[in-house]
Amino acid sequence: MEPKPIIGNTYRHYKGNNYTVIALVKNSETLEEMVVYQAQYGEKQIWVRPLKMFIETVTIDGNTVDRFTLIK
């Protein structure tokens, strides 16, 4: 995963759904960088997640994978 996601790009979550990044923001209290992203399925809900979590890897069944992978 690249250091920071790019606004407008679509990423696939390791569980299979696609999301488009709509903003990179900071938490006003902690100054933590956050990613605002929108589901590309169903009601297209908008989510926010700390940047650190967005770009981290996760271990699934003993395999390490990116939480989000750039698809376009």
Other beta carbons within 10 Å of 17:
12
* Band of pLDDT at residue 66, cut at 50, 70 and 90: very high
Tokens representing residue 7 in the block = 């606004």
**Tally of CA atoms within 13 A in the half-sphere of 5 that contains its CB:** 35
pTM: 0.90
Tens digits of per-residue pLDDT, 22-52? 999 999 999 999 999 999 999 999 999 999 9
> Domains in the chain, start-ordered, CATH in brackets?
10-70 (2.30.30.320)
